[in-house]
Structure 1
Amino acid sequence: MDSYSVLYSSCHRTGLLSGFQRLRTEGKMCDVVLEAGGVSFPCHRALLASSSEYFWALFGETTAERLAGSISLPVLTPQGLDAILDFLYSGWLSVSPSTISVVLEAARYLQVETAVAICECFIIDGLSVESCCCYANLAERHTLSNALEAADQTIAMEMGTLLQESKDKLLELNIQSLMSVLEADEIPGVKELELIQLALDWLDENGPLPLLKSNLLLSRLRFGLVCASDLANLHHRAMGTPLIRSQLTRAMEYHRMGPAQPIRQNKQSTLRASPNRVLLVGGGSSADCPEQQLLAFDPRGKKFSSMSSCLPLRLRNHCVSSVGGFLFVIGGEEVKEGDEDGKKSVTTSTTNQVWRYDPRFACWEQVGSMLERRAQFSCCVVDDVIYAVGGRHTRPDTDTHTSAASVEFYDMTTGAWRRGAAMPRPLYGHASTVLDGSIYVSGGLPGNQGTIQGSNHGDNQGENRESSREVLYWDLKGRVWEKRASMSIARFSHRLATAHGFIYALLGMYEPFCDIERYDSRSDHWTRLRPLLTGSFNYGMVSTPSGNLLVFGGRRWSDGQEVIMRSVLEYDTKTDSWREICQLPRPLTGTECTLLPLPD
């Protein structure tokens, strides 16, 4: 049997279309005329039927149109039909913002799905604050799911500008898009009261709607983000339904919950904000002069912004935690400046105060104080419960300090602190973290009582010999602490973090090297990892949702002098690698960090 080859010409298809286009232009061999808006378009029946499901069915064997010389398409515009015919004959689709509507109408009606897909890509690529509302309506009308989702996301992100400059476009928005936007978890720069007013104005403009649709729209609003006085002033006929009235009642009850608010969160009280902001609380350009600043860091854009609110106190050696979208600032040493006989004086006292910050309304509130005054202690959160572990209390009147083995936790249902299982011995300058619902504590200095040897507690180099390598473990179901494998390095004033099921210990104050290590709870074993780029202490640190660790500022020794750092370092726990990702606005030490959703 003779062998043979099958060869393909890549230019044949293009030549075939070019030939049909030439015949159409010259009006030769055309066997059907399409009419739209009084304009005639001579075409070739075979090409139309092979390119469009609509024409394939229209020219079928049993239809009256199969032999008709002229076919009227009154629902299409000449411009739209011409663009689709050009596409069928050439493969090129001519579309612009002013023609996209009629071209898409023709492509959808004639069932030219390739042209529909091109129009959808054009809509997605052309989304902007000027076009998003119009394109959302277009995508909804033609069931373009990808374009509709992209347009709704653009509207949500640009809502602040749209409310100021193009509210009329928002009032013309289709109800599906408006409901999708009101469902969004991130709407930057817009207060919930503005969204409520938009929804009510939209109902006035487009109503009356059936009760079900009106309820579906308004139920997407988050009434818990509106203060009680503004809620009381909301009056509209659409809000008088049992469903919406019950949501308003629950929002008013939320405002009356007081200390229990963080553990009574629901979607209606959850901020529409990115959850990945790092909040830097306190610290300053000097270890002895802490400031009341709050800095927010966006890991996506690697940018810092100053918060409008400030700490109520000037604190150092404090702890911070976040629960239910609230920030808690706990204990520490309050630094006060005075002026006696024309001379400035600074006094430091350990506090047991606890302050809660609500980013929904940018307000501070003092909540239940700890049972003991604590500084250089550690805090961690397990199942929305804050635990305060160990620490040291300084008595300025007697110039002595006392360390604590005690543990207490904050009961948010009552707003009071309660005793937990005490550690085997007093400890301060330690670190703690949570893994699998249990608390791990490492390092620190053993407790003692005595006279203070300097203004900066724990900075006495002579205490280095007392630093501990010990690791303690507390399963909250039990009442005792247990020992786990010790770290390879004795650490004081260091950091612990949990990521990807492991615990990471980073360097502290007195360590001569920059080593970090990782703990595997399954094997009860520590492993040395890549050292930190630069030796430092008194830095802020947070574990991100991706599992990477971010280290902010701190202090280090250089040529016998203490230097305050500006660097922001990132440790990739998966690749065991460090890199500097950006710099702080200015040198910073003594800051405490936590993750908190913040409004833009």
Structure 2
Amino acid sequence: MCCIANALNSGETSAIMMMNYYLMLSNSHGEGVLSRYQSLRLEGRMCDVVLEAEGVEFPAHRSLLACSSDYFWSVFQDYTLESGARTISLPALSSLGLEQILDFIYTSWISLSPSTLEVTLQAACYLQITHAVDLCTRYISESIAPDNCCFFANIAARYGLSEAFDDKLSQLSALKPALCTPFIRSVVKILLVGGGPEANRPQNQILTYEPRSKKFQPLSTSLPNKLQHQGVCVVGNFLFVLGGESAVMTVTDQVWRYDPRFEQWEEMEPLLQKRAQFACCVVESVIFAIGGRGQRGEPVLSSVERYNMREGCWRSGVSLLYSVYGHACATIGTGIYISGGIHVNNPESSKEVLFLNAVKGYAWQRRSNMSIARFGHQMATVRGRIYTFLGMYEPFCDIERYSPEQDLWTRLKPLLNDRFCYGLTATGSRRVNGIDPLRTLNLDKDKFGQDFTIWHCVRIKGDSHNVL
């Protein structure tokens, strides 16, 4: 690209000469400067400031930061305390979001996905990098669809971008009927997810159970994969299926989310580790995956990971005091309780119980042991008490009840039959669980009335591993 202009140049004589000159622009010069800056950053050379977020440090160059961000332009003025600081702490940002924005500053490229969008947008807005905000806005506009419109609309509203998508959202609303959730967390339906009637032959069928009519019906959609020993939970009216083991005995880290409004499955951010026979629970809309095992023959896990819907990614949590699988889990308020299972160095079932405050706790704490060692069992919370039901290899059919205030276990009237590897859910003052799939092709559903300690039986054909 060039421009031609005329100039007047007067010499010692009175003659006037006409001279042409050219104004040239190099498109590659700016890219070359950024490329050199990126090389210097990767090599750690000439970096004169360190940015810190969540304990992660990122060496950088003040000059480029100041030219790219109004925030850093103000911070690095001569009269500020930060102007000469070697390290700048950014506690309001996540390390992932800061990393995303630094990559953009140094390369002009930004990598966006549903799992990274919000942390990137948060960092771009906080650091006042308008070009990055524009790219995030464009990504939302081009990606919004009926199955993700709520997700994107909520993010846009949080960062004042809603007006940019009003027309698109209006078009989507006109094309789809009223959004409803007829199955998830309904007062009249219970979901049975995955599992199977025979050992190591999982199915992908999902059944719904109506307590009033005492009938089971198959859901119109199926699991994307045939799974057993998976985790199942509900957050924000979405059904999540985590990890598990396939029909070919392969453990997975996949996470699937079912949207009942559109009857669609969507693959989400995978677990940090492949897990089966682990504990899964939800505290204040955060999903916890606790312990479990990987592929058969691999070490048992003590790690914990958590998924926050706002962040859209899995992060490491507070690890257990020991490695364990086949344990059960229940919650009361912000407290998480796990019990039983098999420890890594002990082939026998365990009686041990651990507790963690999911909001304020920094370590798992021991609680009173159960009176019966359990593995492959289930726990449920009803009216502030935890009920533990029988599992595999148990000589008894007894149920135990735990009082958090007294830290005390009490034995209750036993089940009619022994069972293990079943599903369990709480419905008001009752719990519903399925019979051992290793022993029968029929699924018994036992309802235990807390006040009267009476068991009732409802029969259906088939079986499922998880009940919700």
Which TM-score band (shorter chain)?
Answer: 0.5 to 0.7
- Partner amino acid, structure 2, of 1:377: F
Structure 2 counterpart of 1:349? 250
How far off its partner does 1:568 sit? 1.2
- What are the Cα deviations for residues 355-391 of structure 1, in whole angstroms up to 9, with x where unaligned? 0000100000000100000001010011111100000
| Rounded Cα–Cα distance in structure 2 between residues aligned with 1:319 and 1:415 | 18
1:371 paired residue among 262, 268, 272: 272
Structure 1 counterpart of 2:351? 469
The answer on 1:514 being equivalent to 2:397 is yes
Say if 2:437 and 2:443, in contact at 8 Å, map to a contact too: no
| Rounded Cα–Cα distance in structure 1 between residues aligned with 2:217 and 2:338 | 33
SS at match of 1:563: coil
- What are the Cα deviations for residues 474-493 of structure 1, in whole angstroms up to 9, with x where unaligned? 01212100000100000001
| Rounded Cα–Cα distance in structure 2 between residues aligned with 1:366 and 1:390 | 22
| Rounded Cα–Cα distance in structure 2 between residues aligned with 1:555 and 1:483 | 32
The answer on 1:491 being equivalent to 2:374 is yes
2:459 paired residue among 583, 592, 595: 583
Structure 2 counterpart of 1:434? 331
Structure 1 counterpart of 2:205? 293
How far off its partner does 1:513 sit? 1.3
SS at match of 1:349: coil
Say if 1:518 and 1:529, in contact at 8 Å, map to a contact too: yes
2:236 paired residue among 310, 321, 324: 324
Say if 1:228 and 1:252, in contact at 8 Å, map to a contact too: no
Cα–Cα, structure 1 residues 479 and 255, in superposed 2: closer, same or farther, change >3 Å?
Answer: farther
How far off its partner does 1:323 sit? 1.0
SS at match of 1:402: coil
- Partner amino acid, structure 1, of 2:377: H
| Rounded Cα–Cα distance in structure 2 between residues aligned with 1:497 and 1:512 | 21
Cα–Cα, structure 1 residues 483 and 251, in superposed 2: closer, same or farther, change >3 Å?
Answer: farther
Say if 2:329 and 2:337, in contact at 8 Å, map to a contact too: yes
- Partner amino acid, structure 2, of 1:417: W
Structure 2 counterpart of 1:277? 189
- Partner amino acid, structure 1, of 2:433: V
Say if 1:270 and 1:325, in contact at 8 Å, map to a contact too: no
Structure 2 counterpart of 1:360? 261
Give the unaligned 5+ runs of structure 2.
1-144, 151-161
Aligned-pair Cα RMSD in Å: 2.8
| Rounded Cα–Cα distance in structure 2 between residues aligned with 1:367 and 1:255 | 23
The answer on 1:446 being equivalent to 2:343 is yes
Q: Would you say how many aligned residue pairs link Structure 1 and Structure 2?
A: 305
Counting helix residues as a fraction of each chain, which structure ranks higher?
1
Q: Percent identity?
A: 41
SS at match of 2:212: coil
Cα–Cα, structure 1 residues 229 and 470, in superposed 2: closer, same or farther, change >3 Å?
Answer: closer
Say if 1:554 and 1:564, in contact at 8 Å, map to a contact too: no
SS at match of 1:315: coil
- What are the Cα deviations for residues 133-183 of structure 1, in whole angstroms up to 9, with x where unaligned? xxxxxxxxxxxxxxxxxxxxxxxxxxxxxxxxxxxxxxxxxxxxxxxxxxx
| Rounded Cα–Cα distance in structure 1 between residues aligned with 2:384 and 2:265 | 34
Say if 2:197 and 2:440, in contact at 8 Å, map to a contact too: no
- Partner amino acid, structure 2, of 1:592: N
The answer on 1:252 being equivalent to 2:252 is no
- What are the Cα deviations for residues 450-472 of structure 1, in whole angstroms up to 9, with x where unaligned? xxxxxxxxxxxxx7x62110000
Cα–Cα, structure 1 residues 252 and 369, in superposed 2: closer, same or farther, change >3 Å?
Answer: same
Structure 1 counterpart of 2:467? 593
Give the unaligned 5+ runs of structure 1.
1-225, 232-244, 257-267, 336-346, 449-462, 557-561, 595-600
SS at match of 2:169: helix
Cα–Cα, structure 1 residues 535 and 361, in superposed 2: closer, same or farther, change >3 Å?
Answer: same
How far off its partner does 1:537 sit? 1.0
The answer on 1:415 being equivalent to 2:312 is yes
2:284 paired residue among 383, 386, 390: 383
How far off its partner does 1:270 sit? 4.9
| Rounded Cα–Cα distance in structure 2 between residues aligned with 1:467 and 1:314 | 28
SS at match of 2:440: strand
Structure 1 counterpart of 2:432? 550
Structure with greater Cα Rg: 1
Cα–Cα, structure 1 residues 287 and 229, in superposed 2: closer, same or farther, change >3 Å?
Answer: closer
| Rounded Cα–Cα distance in structure 1 between residues aligned with 2:365 and 2:198 | 38
How far off its partner does 1:297 sit? 0.6
> Counterparts in 2 of 1:190-269, with a 5 A limit?
227=146, 249=166, 252=169
SS at match of 1:252: helix
Say if 2:378 and 2:424, in contact at 8 Å, map to a contact too: yes
- Partner amino acid, structure 2, of 1:506: F
| Rounded Cα–Cα distance in structure 2 between residues aligned with 1:328 and 1:428 | 20
The answer on 1:425 being equivalent to 2:322 is yes
Structure 2 counterpart of 1:570? 447
Structure 1 counterpart of 2:300? 403
- Partner amino acid, structure 1, of 2:196: G
* Misfit runs of 4+, over 4 Å: 228-231, 253-256
- Partner amino acid, structure 2, of 1:359: P
Cα–Cα, structure 1 residues 563 and 436, in superposed 2: closer, same or farther, change >3 Å?
Answer: same
How far off its partner does 1:277 sit? 1.2
* TM-score, normalization by structure 1: 0.48
How far off its partner does 1:436 sit? 2.2
Say if 1:328 and 1:355, in contact at 8 Å, map to a contact too: yes
- What are the Cα deviations for residues 283-338 of structure 1, in whole angstroms up to 9, with x where unaligned? 22212211110101111111111111111011111110011111100001122xxx
Structure 1 counterpart of 2:416? 533
| Rounded Cα–Cα distance in structure 2 between residues aligned with 1:482 and 1:269 | 43
How far off its partner does 1:254 sit? 13
Cα–Cα, structure 1 residues 272 and 512, in superposed 2: closer, same or farther, change >3 Å?
Answer: closer
Cα–Cα, structure 1 residues 425 and 288, in superposed 2: closer, same or farther, change >3 Å?
Answer: same
| Rounded Cα–Cα distance in structure 2 between residues aligned with 1:524 and 1:499 | 16
| Rounded Cα–Cα distance in structure 2 between residues aligned with 1:577 and 1:514 | 14
SS at match of 1:466: coil
- Partner amino acid, structure 2, of 1:323: V
* TM-score, normalization by structure 2: 0.61
- What are the Cα deviations for residues 17-62 of structure 1, in whole angstroms up to 9, with x where unaligned? xxxxxxxxxxxxxxxxxxxxxxxxxxxxxxxxxxxxxxxxxxxxxx
| Rounded Cα–Cα distance in structure 2 between residues aligned with 1:521 and 1:493 | 22
How far off its partner does 1:228 sit? 7.7
| Rounded Cα–Cα distance in structure 2 between residues aligned with 1:255 and 1:528 | 55
- Partner amino acid, structure 2, of 1:354: V
| Rounded Cα–Cα distance in structure 2 between residues aligned with 1:414 and 1:508 | 36
- Partner amino acid, structure 1, of 2:276: A
- Partner amino acid, structure 1, of 2:371: S
Say if 1:553 and 1:587, in contact at 8 Å, map to a contact too: no
